[in-house]
Structure 1
């Protein structure tokens, strides 16, 4: 392929991109390591002096920026580190907190980040999910995910976190279920029907149930497509809800035969 008088080598472009990504990951790993070293230089013993998580609007939660067992770090020091990187105070707290979470509570993932075998963004995404876990639960997630973290998606991580909570934090799991129970619902609005003959369904369910439901309607939607349906994916997913309601979980359609 040519552009003007310059020959563009597709393989060469990809090689440059891959090298740039490796260098960017290595640079980010060094920033995380620097954050941990900076935190080690500015540890505090009193939570009143420590950097804590902020919520939307800047309200201080009083919750340390990393999970149980990670060191407390001076709030002023974290702000100074954030300024050095050109980050906001909230972003700086998040960065330092996740670095500490990885280094002190998820050491297997941390080692992979530092040896270049795991992209930092993947490790940070996992660390965000373990901040609330006990030391034992976080260690379980670390041990289970470390070897596969480079190809683990958010849903798989969340399932493992839920397993860790149920196994190592049963009281916390019970309290969380009780809090969530008041919010769970499933409403089917049959009082208002559109001109197209459709109705709305709204619900809030347990995360694991939502994953299973999504998997089920995705499989049925694909089954409809394989049977010859030319409807959009959204339409087929909507049809799949009705199929589930009628118990058509093992519906066998011949090519060209589509469920109504």
Structure 2
């Protein structure tokens, strides 16, 4: 590790030095956890003048268990001195000591990897905190499942895998927690602001929200059909008022559908940029997993839809060096300056600057909350305001539709459709119990599937065999290939990539497409999902190289010669051969 003046270092040596200092900091954090453990050992009730089991009302010191079932008792007041010496509150000190003890006694495999420098201490502490309510036996089950992947995937993906492991380890507690969370549901309306607008916050089952959103999207499309040129979010806001009148909603959607049938528009050309959402992928999900999809009906009218955050603005693959207008420099705001929900969740990962790193004694051991940012829900057509004449015409049209709705209501509409991909093992499929994974949502108990799909009509599509390699002799990517790519690769294939595949993620030809090249270049073996920022780095970044090693492994090389393998188990660095000093 280089501790002198950093200025003379080459860029590669500077990066290597930074990694070594990060490793040294991790070793220091591990040693501090050992300090907490030994300190607790020295303050066991057998070695201190405390009275275990004493009533708390008399204010005297008691023996307490910090860290959960299976951890040794500690003299209650001992945490105060430990906290003073480290400059933290007694509560934080108690939590820290409890975490250290839980690592040693409840998560021995993870703790062994921490001591070996193979697991970042604060990530291990976070796992412990997430499992604090589990029994000792259940905690050991989680420990065995996640110990080997603590540092090979991002914290956001690790959280989801830990959640699934908790479900497997203690399904009864998982059901109890799910029931508890279900009681937190509700619809909350805030006060009007000075502009006469209100905010509505809805916490409801995922399936209900998806269907409600499909109806809102259908109404917004209907308004556009009848001449409303405003931005889509303005139309969606008006849809909230329209949906309160079921007959009006039905008539509006019915007439919009008839109008589109009578006045068809040419289909838009699809671009090389999409796939669909999924969640973190663990090694256990590679075998014995059925990939199917349920098509659940909502109440909106129109085509299948999925309202997701990351908009690619019609981005296309640019391996051949032509058509670079799709990846212009100003696109950084859509994938870097304004992060999507997956990138936002990665805020818990360490930052480049040591001063910005989370204090190991005060790491927020909470599950990341999905933020709501209106900027993430804006569609490509920003629209334009209606002039006075156009507004009057639209109002008259809508008023006529509403009158018709209440005087001569149309027949029942065919509901719109939404699509849900569910991944489950043959055991879960046969028994109806266990854990499954719903794309875009994450791990669920099998008993929660009916709530997600709903009680309306649904169609189960055939299972897709991802071992089938298919290709086409064209640059454009057909839907059947897109579907297989997003099922095979639920997360982008960039080193430590955190962007989950979605309809707006780019599909990149790993081997650049050559119009004069051989047939079958657009294939499941030559396509990789990449977030917009990752795609731009690969396309425009100097010195980045990627190649497919085998069916499950993609190899990336950075500008300064560092190599990484991206596999279903995460990202793994490949130690480079010895190289000559870099003059840069």
Q: 1:106 matched to which residue of 2?
A: 107
Matched-pair contact (CA < 8 Å) for 1:188–1:199:
yes
Query: What secondary structure, in the 3-state scheme, does the structure 2 residue paired with 1:175 have?
Result: helix
- Aligned positions, number: 224
Q: Distance in 2 between matches of 1:47 and 1:154?
A: 39
* Structure 1 position 32, deviation (Å): 0.6
Query: Which structure dedicates a bigger proportion of its chain to helix?
Result: 1
Which structure's CA Rg is the greater one? 2
Query: Which structure dedicates a bigger proportion of its chain to strand?
Result: 2
* Structure 1 position 27, deviation (Å): 1.1
Residues 132 and 11 of structure 1: CA distance in aligned 2, closer, same or farther (over 3 Å) = same
Residues 221 and 156 of structure 1: CA distance in aligned 2, closer, same or farther (over 3 Å) = closer
TM alignment of 1:13-92, pairs within 5 A: 13-44=14-45, 46=52, 49-51=62-64, 64-92=65-93
Q: 2:417 matched to which residue of 1?
A: 247
Q: Residue deviations 1:30-62, cap 9 Å, x none?
A: 1111211111121237365135xxxxxxxxxxx
Matched-pair contact (CA < 8 Å) for 2:139–2:169:
no
* Structure 1 position 95, deviation (Å): 1.4
Q: 1:128 matched to which residue of 2?
A: 129
Matched-pair contact (CA < 8 Å) for 1:79–1:89:
yes
Q: Distance in 2 between matches of 1:17 and 1:166?
A: 38
* Structure 1 position 164, deviation (Å): 4.3
Residues 119 and 246 of structure 1: CA distance in aligned 2, closer, same or farther (over 3 Å) = same
TM-score computed with the length of structure 1 as normaliser: 0.67
Q: Distance in 2 between matches of 1:208 and 1:109?
A: 36
Residues 20 and 129 of structure 1: CA distance in aligned 2, closer, same or farther (over 3 Å) = same
TM-score computed with the length of structure 2 as normaliser: 0.33
* Structure 1 position 132, deviation (Å): 1.0
Q: 1:56 matched to which residue of 2?
A: none
- Comparing 177-186 and 103-112, the one that deviates more: 177-186
Q: 1:149 matched to which residue of 2?
A: 150
Q: Determine if the alignment matches structure 1 residue 137 to structure 2 residue 138.
A: yes
Q: Distance in 2 between matches of 1:209 and 1:105?
A: 38
Q: 2:442 matched to which residue of 1?
A: none
Q: Determine if the alignment matches structure 1 residue 94 to structure 2 residue 130.
A: no
Q: 2:203 matched to which residue of 1?
A: 204
- Unaligned stretches of 5+ in structure 2? 1-6, 47-51, 55-61, 210-275, 280-305, 317-325, 339-373, 381-414, 421-477, 480-502, 504-584
- Unaligned stretches of 5+ in structure 1? 1-5, 52-63, 254-260
Q: Determine if the alignment matches structure 1 residue 237 to structure 2 residue 236.
A: no
Q: Residue deviations 1:178-233, cap 9 Å, x none?
A: 332222246799xx9xx9xx9966322469999x9997644x744664477x8957
Matched-pair contact (CA < 8 Å) for 1:98–1:128:
yes
Q: Distance in 2 between matches of 1:85 and 1:206?
A: 43
Q: 1:3 matched to which residue of 2?
A: none
Matched-pair contact (CA < 8 Å) for 1:138–1:164:
no
- Comparing 10-19 and 150-159, the one that deviates more: 150-159
Residues 116 and 164 of structure 1: CA distance in aligned 2, closer, same or farther (over 3 Å) = closer
Higher relative contact order (CA 8 A, sep 6+): 2
Q: Distance in 2 between matches of 1:74 and 1:148?
A: 34
Q: Residue deviations 1:62-110, cap 9 Å, x none?
A: xx43011111211222222222223221221121111111111011110
Query: What secondary structure, in the 3-state scheme, does the structure 2 residue paired with 1:178 have?
Result: helix
Q: Distance in 2 between matches of 1:141 and 1:207?
A: 26
Matched-pair contact (CA < 8 Å) for 2:186–2:202:
yes
* Structure 1 position 155, deviation (Å): 4.2
Q: Distance in 2 between matches of 1:236 and 1:171?
A: 36
In angstroms, what is the RMSD of aligned CA positions? Answer: 4.2
Q: 1:58 matched to which residue of 2?
A: none
Residues 202 and 121 of structure 1: CA distance in aligned 2, closer, same or farther (over 3 Å) = same
Q: Residue deviations 1:118-159, cap 9 Å, x none?
A: 111111111110111111221111111011111344444443
